[in-house]
Homo-oligomer: A and B are copies of this chain.
Amino acid sequence: MASTGNGKSKRDTYRHGDLRNALIEAGLELARQGGPEAVVLRAATRQAGVVPNAAYRHFADRGALLHAVSQAAMAHVAHTMEAEQAALPPAEDPAAGARARFRAVGTGYLRFAQEEPGLFRTAFHVPGDMTHAAADTAAGPGGKTPFELLGTALDGLVENGLLPEDRRPGAEFLAWSAVHGLAVLLIDGPLRGLHPTQAHDAGQHVIDMIERGI
């Protein structure tokens, strides 16, 4: 690995080797800092140490790159949600476990929104990706998309008698609306800049409301 001395590194090989992934990774970094608008083709190639038009070997256009980055960001959301569930202490009983897993879905979602607002905005910028996202690109390590994780958690509530079966249909959209709305208010609405502790409390209150109102 030769160095140019200006902080950039040069490839040993003429070929990059894994430019597609490098561009997605660069795009994620741009999105992390500035949201979807910041996913600029030239900036991504710059960061990957490659000439601008090299991107066209791997993506049809800027939109295709942004789409791939958005899917990757969605997978990050799923990962955080899964991690939140995995960190749960062992449940006293199945019903308590189902309830905790449901709440963890919302908590993980909100935690990601607070910790990675740029990625969060990028994940949801490309319309319609959440429910219909290809599972192989938008899923977390567990293989589920955020929307599927929510659905599974709701099923768990029903199975344990915590949610009447006739309330199950459409429940995704009730829960999701409330949590997503709070996320947006925390990111660039009037709740932006709230202390993480307060933000967590607000999240718990919204999840309380959902449990009561669902």
Binding site for B on A (CB under 8 A): 37, 124-125, 127-128, 130-132, 147, 170, 173-174, 176-185, 188-192, 202, 205-206, 208-214
Contacts and interface: CB of A to CB of B under 8 A. Distances in A.
Contact of A184 (B181, B192, B211): B181
Which of A131, A178, A184, A189 has the largest count of B CB atoms less than 10 A from its CB?
A178
Contacts of A130: 189-190
The winner among A37, A190, A211, A214 for most chain B CB atoms within 10 A is A190
B190 A181 contact: no
Contacts of A124: 184, 188-189
Nearest to A178: B178
A7 to B, nearest CB: 32
25 contacts: A124-B184, A124-B189, A125-B188, A128-B190, A130-B189, A130-B190, A131-B190, A132-B190, A173-B182, A174-B178, A174-B205, A174-B206, A176-B181, A176-B185, A177-B178, A177-B182, A177-B206, A178-B209, A180-B185, A180-B189, A184-B184, A210-B213, A212-B213, A213-B213, A213-B214
A128 B189 CA distance: 5
Contact of A181 (B128, B179, B212): B179
The 3 residue pairs across chains A and B that have the minimum distance between CB atoms: A213-B213, A181-B181, A209-B213
